[in-house]
Amino acid sequence: MIWRLARAWDLKEEKILDLTLITFLGGFLGARVYFILENFTLFGFNILKWLLIHTYPGFSFWGALLGGYLTLYFFSRRFKINFWQAADIASVGLLGGLIFASLGCFLSGCSLGIPSKLFFAISFVGAVGKRIPVQLIEAALLFLSAVRIWKFATHFHIQGSVLAISLILIGALNLSLEPLRDVQKGIFLNVILMILGTTVFYKVTKRKILSDLKAFLNFLLRFIKDPNVRKTFIIHLRKSWYNYRVGINWKFRNLAKFLRKSNTLRRLNVRFSHKDSKYY
């Protein structure tokens, strides 16, 4: 995803790939350091415990985010790349990576959901009772967010706005899912992430937050008092949902058509119908 955006924006691919690897290492180091500081009673001043990741595992998402973006800020200036542009690209890659992280968390049984008797609750090894698969819900919401952010990033936008919206989305998404998690410890940090994203948005767009709040309150009052405003708003939501649903359906149809033409499903031993049985 980062490589595609670098090509679309006519950036030097080698510099972007080098910056990506360095940023990943910075995030990796930040994730480990933050986790050690957060659980210092378990590690103490034993340097071997700090270094032996396989024997004493543990990483922190917040440390990775902080370490990655600090590394990106420092080395983007060294490589003479606009930081806001690099941060926009990194934000898209971050959303894509978080999708796989949530799926991996589901498979390994970390960040468990609360116990539930709902029909879609799942049993996890080492956990008592069935749990809400909050990791899958998170992955699905992150996927929808990544689709919207990708469309926004590949069109004209103010540099830094992709980063701002991504931070707000990640913070809001995690905050909304906190009540479904068995262990809730990221509420404060998610609020900070949303505030940070909002601050970046108004910094790069040069907009005034007081003017936007005033416009929002005026719309809210009109929405409450005027039935025509409510009707227009509901019609707009229906049209937007219809366009979004049709767009998703066409993408799945095009994907299925591509897989049929390329014989990908046949090579993976996936059958569409009984007519394909002669190939196996």
What pLDDT is stored for residue 274 in this prediction?
A: 47
Q: Considering only CA atoms, which of 201, 144, 200, 197 is closest in space to residue 167?
A: 197
Contact status, residue 139 vs residue 99, Cβ threshold 8 Å: yes
What pLDDT is stored for residue 167 in this prediction?
A: 93
Separation CA 272–CA 280 (nearest Å) = 13
Burial class (CB in 10 A: 0-12, 13-18, 19+), 64: buried
- Using the structure block, give the residue that is written with the tokens 């800020």: 73
For the chain, 280 residues long, give each residue's pLDDT as a single digit of tens.
Answer: 888 888 888 888 888 888 989 999 999 999 999 888 888 888 888 787 788 787 778 888 888 989 999 999 999 988 888 899 999 999 999 999 999 999 998 988 888 889 988 888 888 887 888 999 999 999 999 999 998 899 888 888 899 999 999 999 999 999 999 999 988 777 888 999 999 999 999 999 988 888 888 988 998 898 888 888 889 989 988 988 888 788 888 878 887 777 776 665 555 555 544 444 444 4
Which amino acid would we find at residue 20? T
What pLDDT is stored for residue 266 in this prediction?
A: 58
What pLDDT is stored for residue 276 in this prediction?
A: 46
Handedness of CA 224, 227, 230, 232 (dihedral sign): negative
Residue 17 in tokens: 């790939």
What pLDDT is stored for residue 60 in this prediction?
A: 86
Residue 30 in tokens: 């930040």
Separation CA 130–CA 93 (nearest Å) = 33
What pLDDT is stored for residue 272 in this prediction?
A: 47
Separation CA 216–CA 194 (nearest Å) = 18
Q: Is 12 helix (H, G, I), strand (E, B) or coil?
A: coil
What pLDDT is stored for residue 263 in this prediction?
A: 63
What pLDDT is stored for residue 41 in this prediction?
A: 83
Residue 116 in tokens: 């539930």
Separation CA 31–CA 38 (nearest Å) = 11
